[in-house]
Structure 1
Amino acid sequence: MPNPMLAVVIEDDADIRSLVVAVLEQAGYVVHAASSGLDGIELVARHDPAVTTLDVSMPGIDGFETARRIRGFSNTRILMVSARADETEERAGRDAGADDYLTKPFRPRELRERVRMLVEGD
Structure 2
Amino acid sequence: MNSTGVSTVVVIEDDPDIRELIRSVLSRGGIVVHTAENGLDGVALVTSIHPDLVTLDIGLPDIDGYEVARRLRLAPGTADIQILMLSARTHELDPVRGRDAGAELHLSKPFRPRELRAQVDELLARL
The two structures, once aligned, show a CA RMSD in angstroms of 1.4
> Moved runs in structure 1, 4+ residues, more than 6 A?
none
What per-residue deviation string (whole Å, max 9, x for no partner) do you get for residues 38-61 of structure 1? 000011111111110000001110
Where does residue 126 of structure 2 map in the other structure? Answer: 121
Where does residue 98 of structure 2 map in the other structure? Answer: 93
TM-superposed CA distance for 1:121, in Å, is 2.3
Q: Flag structure 1 segments of 5+ consecutive residues without an equivalent.
A: none
Where does residue 61 of structure 1 map in the other structure? Answer: 63
The percent of aligned pairs where both chains have the same amino acid is 51
What TM-score, normalized by structure 2, do the two folds share? 0.91
CA–CA distance in 2 between the matches of 1:98 and 1:57? 15
The amino acid that maps onto 1:60 is D
Where does residue 29 of structure 1 map in the other structure? Answer: 31
Where does residue 12 of structure 1 map in the other structure? Answer: 14
Q: Flag structure 2 segments of 5+ consecutive residues without an equivalent.
A: none
CA–CA distance in 2 between the matches of 1:59 and 1:18? 18
The amino acid that maps onto 2:58 is V
> Higher strand fraction: Structure 1 or Structure 2?
1
2:73 to 71, 74, 84: 71
What per-residue deviation string (whole Å, max 9, x for no partner) do you get for residues 63-121 of structure 1? 00001001112111000011113221111111000000000000000000000001102
2:86 to 76, 81, 94: 81
